[in-house]
Chains A and B, each alone.
Chain A
Amino acid sequence: MEQQEQKQSSMAMRIAIAAVLTAMTAVFTLMVRVPIAPTRGYINLGDVAIYFSAFTFGPVTALIASGLGTSIADLIAGYPQWAPITFCINAVRGLVTGLIIHGLSRSSKLRVSEQNWAGFFSKKKAAAAGTAGMVIMVGLYFLAGGIMYGFPAAAFEIPGNIIQNVVGILLGSLLSLSVYRAYPPVQQLRW
């Protein structure tokens, strides 16, 4: 009975975490929109939310929140043709970034806790996970854009996407750290 209640509580908590982070990713994506005509759309802070989710909440939450959040933002912002592609690319990016940063932590026998947070979240690990995420995002968007409207035009997106990713990694890691410092119970929400 107790086990069943625990399972129910855990499922409700996971749904709540995924839903709130998905909404947050969508809001961050829509919040700051710097148009980068004549490409896909705009530079936004959605990447900050993606990297924050991956660094703080782990690969599964990052997969759901990144994929759904950014594709919902595409729907709202008027880029519905990109929504399925965005879902796939950002879900993979969230998953891989989360797996790398948390995999690296496991390999060095570190866990998320107050004592080892600084070690868990070293600049090197964040950079490695972020770079992998950036390569996935930039590469897959280039491929998708190239197939849809030609590789010369798709190449125009690369610099904008790289800038967006670098900002996302920097601000996402800083945000992760400052949220943890200001609100330590956040570590209990990771799964």
Chain B
Amino acid sequence: MIASWYHPGNTVIHKADPRIKILLLVEVVILFFWPTAVFWYGLTAAVIMFLIILTAGLRSLWAAVKAILPLLVLVALLTPLFNRGGPALFTIGNISVGVKAAEETLMLILRFTGLTLIFYLFFLTTDLQHVILTLRWYGVPYTGALVITLAFRYIPTIAGLLGRVRDAHKLRNPAEYAAGSAKRRGLTKIRKFLPMLTSVVIASIKSIPVLAMSLEHRGIGSSVKRSSYISLPPLLHVPVQLAAGTVTAVLLSIPIWI
């Protein structure tokens, strides 16, 4: 399911070490919250947009922006109403928008767009396996990483189970799922889900002992480890990437020091 966000490619960003990418992501997030000139927000957002176009194309960028567009419109409409004062930039009816309000609106729009796009770029160019290995490298315990991995493995299983249970309930009680019943409101509509959810939950819970047994057979919890995650190469083994990452980090920190 999550594979849909990863865009396989052979670009420099795809090949970059995920540990360095995560550090840069954190730095960009800090930058977007740093009280600096709006210009830097705009420049950083523009660079991220450019990188998304380079790695996955214009359509991917549009898909990411389209998802947050309604919220950006809301921010553009509401923020000026709550930020009065300063010289008026323009007036619409009785509402005058000041320079300060326009700047604040632009800053919030660029911040949210930049934050969205940097996370989007990261998951666009990093597959799940490397995300988990990176989390392990940064100190997430083995059991924690295992829970995440197993959860991803079980999502399609439970989603499939849900589909089958829903179909079975439709067959047993077609009137409840008929077109007319959609008009029902409030609790009646919500309670319709209860029998279906109960079946899904019980079927899921019943799979827990089987999963636990297979984990035990693999030696999970035992003092003698029988399975482990592969390790990412030491950072010093990727000197070019380390140098490039350091230069990018220094460039990104310019607005913070100015």
A residues apposed to B, CB below 8 Å? 4, 7-13, 15-20, 22-24, 26-28, 30-32, 37-40, 45, 48, 52, 64, 68-69, 72, 75-76, 78-81, 83, 147-153, 156, 167, 170-171, 174-175, 178-179, 182-183, 186, 189
Contact = CB atoms under 8 A, between A and B. Distances in A.
Contact of B221 (A12, A40, A149, A171): A12
Contacts of B109: 149
Contacts of A7: 221
A119 to B, nearest CB: 22
Given A16-B212, A81-B116, A149 B108 contact: yes
B151 A19 contact: yes
Nearest to A19: B150
Main secondary structure of the interface of A (DSSP, over half): helix
5 contacts: A24-B154, A24-B158, A32-B193, A148-B111, A149-B111
Interface stretch (B12-20, B75-83, B88-96, B242-250): B75-83
Task: Identify which of A15, A45, A182 gathers the most chain B CB atoms within 10 Å of its CB.
Answer: A15
A180 B101 CA distance: 55
A80 B119 contact: yes
Given A80-B123, A167-B190, A171-B193, A150 B151 contact: no
B2 interface: yes
A183 B203 CA distance: 10
Interface of B: 1-2, 4-5, 33, 63-64, 67, 70-75, 78-79, 81-82, 104, 108-109, 111-112, 115-116, 118-120, 122-123, 143, 146-148, 150-155, 157-159, 162, 187, 190-191, 193-194, 197-198, 200-202, 204-209, 211-213, 215-216, 219-223
Contact of A48 (B151, B197, B205, B208): B197
A27 B155 contact: yes
Contacts of A156: 74, 78
Nearest to B195: A178
Given A152-B79, A175-B201, A69 B151 contact: yes
A153 B70 CA distance: 11
A38 B193 contact: no
B159 to A, nearest CB: 5
A152 B78 contact: yes
Contact of A26 (B70, B79, B155, B191): B155
